[in-house]
Structure 1
Amino acid sequence: MYLIEQTTVPTAALPVQALKNHLRLGTGFADDGLQDGLVESYLRAAMAAIEGRIGKVLIARSFTWSLDDWRRGGEQALPVAPVSVVSQIALLDRAGVAEVVPASAYRLVQDMHRPRVQAAGFMLPQVPMDGGIEITFVAGFGPAWGDVPADLAQAVLMLAAEYYEGRHDGGQGAGGLPLAVVTLIERWRTVRVLGGAGA
């Protein structure tokens, strides 16, 4: 199983100015935009760290998820949330030739923690022998920074600021996420039960 991000977060959707304000960087100077690239890189790093910890996609983008077989015959949990649309499901034969599954054969069950694809009938389509499945979907709270829940947005700014302020320590800072960030994101973490049987 592997998850590939097909589209990236556009720079315009990132809260570069909000982080600069948070860091209290000076304004009104000729070189105001000089730090923008650095600020953007720390925002992207902070988003990736938080998304990885909580299994949620903050700003909407498209993904392709490849797997060998359905975990359950009648439904398949998706690896991240929230998912707004399943664009396509394709079954691959052993040569990698894809056959698109009709959208009428399944439906998306939206859930803030464990969205899933569910068969329209009793079972999802059978996977060819030695083949696989590719599911393309859009995940995220929305296309703009304003769509991100306030506590997660604050956590990103705090973590990005931590990265920015510790950029000269040569990796000698404390490992892990700061306690304040962990506190903000804790309620968003996906709790797996029964060994992740539905995953």
Structure 2
Amino acid sequence: MMRILVLPFIVFSTVFFAQKKKNKLDVVSNIETRVIVMKPLGNNYLAKLVSPFYGFGFGGNLMTPLNFGVGVDYNVLFSNVKYGEQSLYGNIGSPTITNIDLYFTHRHVVSEDFSIEEMAGFSYYRQTNLLIDAKNKKIKDNATGFNLGGKALYTLDREGYQQVFVSGKVNFYFNNVYNENPEIKKFYNRSTFLSLNLGYRYNF
């Protein structure tokens, strides 16, 4: 009788702890760091008056067993106003963009070493410029938009903890500058950013 009671208990315990261990592996998280080159495109003030942006970023995401997940990126990018364009840009300089991307992602596992991820989501921007005629004074503008991108990853170790990646992303930028002339308003309100990222990811 005792053996009959103990056997189901052992089976139940084995299944329970195996399921518990499996559940721990259901969602995979990671952190990333990257260097970024970003070029504004189109007929707008960032594309015409400003040099390409260079910077760095951090981020991470959560990935489910279905290979769908969510992620966040925090990026800081620096540029300069092109020579001779200071008056059109507004007598301000040293533009810096702080960008936060929230996105959904999907992963394709190509092989044990390679995988590809697609991304799409919402973007927030804060642009900071220094006043040329006033030291230590800054002008800050907020903007929003959305982002689309892709990422190719290569795994460095057998356990799959460390990866390097290259990614490309398109960000759409919508500001809220007011002007009665619709062409001028469009010139200063909208832009499209194309960026290339090289980075390192750690999974845990």
TM-score, normalised to structure 1, is 0.26
Q: Using CA pairs below 8 Å that are at least 6 residues apart, which structure has the higher relative contact order? A: 1
TM-score, normalised to structure 2, is 0.26
Larger proportion of helix = 1
Larger proportion of strand = 2
Larger Rg: 2
